[in-house]
Amino acid sequence: MINENLYQNYFDALLAGRRSECKDFVNDLLDAKIDIKVLYSDLFQRSLYSVGELWENNRITVANEHLATSITESLLNLTYPFIFATERTGRKAVISCSANEFHQVGGKMVADVFELNGWDGHFLGPNSPTEDMAQFIQNVQPDVVGLSLAILPNIDHLKRSIEVVRADFPKIDLLVGGQAFRWGGIDTIRRYAGTEYISSLNALEKMLKGM
């Protein structure tokens, strides 16, 4: 849990673009040994969802939103010393946003949770062309592929990615997640064999601990 007062102060600093102050908040939480998943969900995700609402209601500009996102992306890197400190399992995951999906922060967090659990989490970033993703999977031969979707209108691109992975790599476990599924689409995903919808970073970690 993150203290509400701390959250509000962090959020004010984020909106105002005070990057150094945001960095100090995060470093203090890391020094206090915060669970990285809590940091990601309760500070970074919560604040970016609020930024989205402010933007949707025309209370901040696209420039404000871009600034907050870029600060958050830089803060994610502060967790690296903790993420890669875990003993390696030799397992590999490839995480990708589907074609036309430009929201990459959630997918990067997912790759970090794999790393935290000792996996190699290869994150391919936003808008990955499906064929290039398939080629990468072929080269790396991961145990798991994770696909991220933030906006539901992109679901046809996601379906195509799922179909390519299922056809070319039938033995690889396929996980799908992202906030698009707040607005529907889970039933569509469940129709694909060997493909599972995972709702949160906690649910992901629970699954990894059972593998």
Report, in Å, the least distance between residue 74 CB and ligand B12.
11
Report, in Å, the least distance between residue 33 CB and ligand B12.
20
One-letter amino acid at 172 equals I
Is-contact 196 176, C-beta < 8 A? yes
Out of 2, 38, 152, 164, the residue judged to bind ligand B12 by CB under 6 A: 152
**Residue 36 within binding range of ligand B12, rule CB under 6 A:** no
One-letter amino acid at 15 equals L
For the chain, the C-alpha Rg in angstroms (whole number) is: 17
**How far is the C-alpha of 117 from the C-alpha of 153, rounded, in Å?**
32
Detail the DSSP E strand segments found in 89-201: 92-97, 120-123, 144-148, 173-177, 195-197
Residue (142 or 177) nearer to ligand B12, CB: 177
Out of 24, 27, 28, 49, the residue judged to bind ligand B12 by CB under 6 A: 49
User: Which 59-118 positions form the footprint of ligand B12 (CB under 6 A)?
Assistant: 65, 69, 100-107, 109-110
Give me the sheet containing 195-197, strands edge to edge. 120-123, 92-97, 144-148, 173-177, 195-197
Out of 2, 38, 60, 151, the residue judged to bind ligand B12 by CB under 6 A: 151
**Contact set with ligand B12 (CB under 6 A):** 40-41, 44-45, 48-49, 51-53, 56, 65, 69, 100-107, 109-110, 146-148, 150-152, 175-179, 183, 198, 200-201, 204
